[in-house]
Amino acid sequence: MCGVLRAADAGKKAVLMGWVNRRRDHGNLLFIDLRDRTGVTQIVFNTDRDRAVHEKAETLRNEYVIAVIGKVKMRDPNTINPNMATGEVELVADELRILNESKLPPFLPSDTALTNEETRLKYRYIDLRRDVMQFNIETRHKVAKAIRDYLSSQGFFEIETPFMTRSTPEGARDYLVPSRVQLGTFYALPQSPQLFKQILMISGFDKYFQIVRCFRDEDLRADRQPEFTQIDLEMSYPQPESVWSVVEGFLTAAFAAAGYTIQTPFPRMDYDEAIRLYGIDKPDLRLPPFTDVRECFSPENLQELAINPNLPVIAIRIPRVGELSRKERDDIKPMFHSKGGARVYEDFKRIANRYADAAKKIAEKTGMAEGDLIVLVAGSAQASSGETAFAPHRKVTPQELAIYASAGLLRLALAQKYAERHQCFQKGDFRFLWVTNFPMFEWDESEKQWMAAHHPFTSPHEQDMKLLEEGVESLHDPLSPLSAVRALAYDIVLNGTELGSGSIRIHRQDVQSRIFRALGMNEEEAKARFGFFLEALEYGTPPHGGIALGLDRIVMILAGAESLREVIPFPKTARAVDLMVDAPTPVSEKQLKELGISVRKTVT
RNA sequence: GGGGACGUAGUUCAGUUGGUUAGAACGCUGCCCUGUCACGGCAGAGGCCGCGGGUUCGAGUCCCGUCGUCCCCGCCA
């Protein structure tokens, strides 16, 4: 292979095959850098050695595929290239075969400037030849293999579940597949193998995993593709801790495969605490948490500043940002997206001038050092509370949540904007976190009702069963005790990215029915949608639970990539189009007719 | 569904206040070159300025629309 020859191989005969990466033509002396996925080796064609072979080599162009037979030669000391792994040697060509010519590609894998993504995606086969992409795809393979090996070693079976399955119109939109044999009916591609893996537990395969494609017909983002790969697993008789330790085990193996050592066990944090300290359920631990500095102000101060004294006053600290210019300070306000009347005080100096005492306490309480940026976020005193009134059962009220969430988004925006200054985002710094005890239900303001925060198969806390019972008929009551029901659900978070989400599931049919009822699904509806599953639950279902992690996101972080598209060989654009194969496309009248489908010109 | 950025040579980009023939680098083609490695030298080819309309004596530049790519909000149980 082109990347393997070393000084020790000098004198040997070798055959190399690959692509012409670069040619340097010196007249009677011609150098070719020959590339394959392992690397690059310099080939030398010399008229002194063989005039005919050299002449043939003159016709070589970029991306031709060739085979070269020659002798590995130690380079003269002054021609050694220390920047190449193979730089001590070169292959002196005795024979050249042109295996295939190449049209001039729209861009070259050896280009240093990165071509625009549209062209890269259209000519993905060229793009994938670039060494960065080769590295990313190799990393992906190694990570997946390490995970497979680890889970197999722990007694997990990899079991396949169907891609053509049943539409469950909850959550994300389904991709539908029409059935020809059953006219007018549709399969759906799975959003996740959730119910199948639970049924596998009922079937006695007490440790299951699958590295599996999932499909969701929702709008895309840099970290969201319509088809993506999950590391899906489920086990019987687990505590949350047993799931966590399995995940910590395979992540250790996966990161080791990519050359990184990580520390386990990962820290854990209650959902409520994550909200209070970071304003988000996926905290990035690489930067300092919030500090509530309400106590640093006197009641009179708060009144003058028109700050609501009943809500937290949050100090966001970003280290080492240094003095901000007037313009930079002004730029903070537009970065702030207020929720529920939250207000931003971006000019800490002004606060310090007016309230020296308070500022001193804040500096102390936040651990502020010279050059640190402090921004305050607080509730407005006169904010009309047009929002839904207090949910008295929650530790964090909706009003508080609004403040925390606004501050959380600003914290991330500032962290990203000043990443070069605070230097907290270092390659190889992996800060994992388990976020636990999520609320079971979330209030949907547009539907004016409670929804499952995770999914409806998540088990509530044993201690909260009573609240569930009390709240089971209060779907539309924002004050319902449902608000306080905690779920045995947990997320794994890495550097502010949600890698995965899991839970202990409901294994009793009566509890499952109660959850459906609390979600406003009557027995008939529940039966129509999940009847097969409810029935299965009645035949001796063991307690079980599991998790699913996004493989693409893990590889993205390991590869240091900004987008999932960099670690998925054939990804889709923001409009869910594959530019290489040009999909989706209309289909022929004949195909539609066979399926009994007609297409409307507009969606109404 | 909403907001924002971008679209000029094969590629990456520049293009002033609207004003002669739209430039550079890399790549490409030809010639020269025996130690280069992002080789070098000389010469050359290559443009529907995304598309459509408008304003103007005159549009790459201003306006409207449209298409495409990217980012964000909504959405993602």
| Each residue's pLDDT tens digit, A213-237 | 999 999 999 999 999 999 999 999 9
Given a contact cutoff of 8 angstroms between Cβ atoms, the answer to whether A96 and A45 are in contact is yes
pLDDT for the residue A401: 86
Q: Is the CB of A79 under 7 A from strand B?
A: yes
Q: Is the CB of A172 under 7 A from strand B?
A: yes
Three-class SS string for A84-110?
A: CCCCCEEEEEEEEEEEECCCCCCCCCC
Given a contact cutoff of 8 angstroms between Cβ atoms, the answer to whether A468 and A460 are in contact is yes
pLDDT for the residue A293: 93
pLDDT for the residue A604: 59
Lowest mean pLDDT among A57-66, A173-182, A379-388, A522-531: A379-388
**Amino acid letter, residue A302:** L
pLDDT for the residue A383: 57
Span A332-377, pLDDT tens digits: 887 887 777 788 888 899 999 999 999 999 999 999 999 999 999 9
More confident: A409 or A392: A409
pLDDT for the residue A232: 97
Span A478-521, pLDDT tens digits: 888 998 999 999 999 999 999 999 999 999 999 999 999 999 88
Span A422-432, pLDDT tens digits: 888 888 899 99
Given a contact cutoff of 8 angstroms between Cβ atoms, the answer to whether A86 and A41 are in contact is yes
Mean pLDDT of the region A38-64: 95
- Distance (Å, rounded) from C-alpha A186 to C-alpha A476? 32
Q: CA–C1' distance A62–B45 (Å)?
A: 19
Kindly state the DSSP code that residue A257 receives in the 8-state scheme. Answer: H
pLDDT for the residue A113: 82
Q: Which of residues 192-231 of A touch strand B (CB under 7 A)?
A: 192, 194, 216, 218-224
Pick out the nucleotide with least CA–C1' distance to A118.
B69
Confidence of residue A459 (pLDDT cuts 50, 70, 90): very high
For residue A90, is pLDDT > 90? yes
Cut 0.80: pTM above it: yes
Closest to A52 measured CA to CA, from A95, A92, A91, A90: A95
Within 8 A by CB and 6+ apart from A196, the residues are A161, A162, A165, A190
Lowest mean pLDDT among A128-132, A345-349, A538-542, A573-577: A345-349
Q: CA–C1' distance A508–B68 (Å)?
A: 52
Given a contact cutoff of 8 angstroms between Cβ atoms, the answer to whether A250 and A146 are in contact is yes
What is chain A's length? 604
Q: Is the CB of A42 under 7 A from strand B?
A: yes
With pLDDT > 90 as the criterion, what percentage of chain A qualifies? 75
pLDDT for the residue A477: 87
pLDDT for the residue A423: 86
pLDDT for the residue A330: 79
Which of A171-175, A238-242, A309-313 is most confident?
A238-242
> How far from A564 is each of A229, A296, A449, CA to CA, in Å?
11, 44, 34
- Distance (Å, rounded) from C-alpha A159 to C-alpha A200? 9
For residue A112, is pLDDT > 60? yes
Confidence of residue A41 (pLDDT cuts 50, 70, 90): very high
For residue A164, is pLDDT > 90? yes
Q: CA–C1' distance A578–B53 (Å)?
A: 31
Q: Which of residues 109-168 of A touch strand B (CB under 7 A)?
A: 111-119, 121, 168
pLDDT for the residue A393: 64
Annotate A495-532 with DSSP letters as a single string: TTEEEEEEEEBP--HHHHHHHHHHTT--HHHHHHHHHH
pLDDT for the residue A114: 86
> Is the ipTM beyond the 0.90 threshold?
yes
Determine if the peptide bond prior to A265 is cis (ω within 30°): yes
For residue A388, is pLDDT > 60? no
For residue A387, is pLDDT > 70? no
Q: In this structure, what token pair is assigned to residue A259? A: 């050359």
Confidence of residue A331 (pLDDT cuts 50, 70, 90): confident
pLDDT for the residue A392: 56
Pick out the nucleotide with least CA–C1' distance to A28.
B34
Q: CA–C1' distance A191–B76 (Å)?
A: 10
Span A558-599, pLDDT tens digits: 999 999 999 999 999 999 999 999 999 999 999 999 999 998
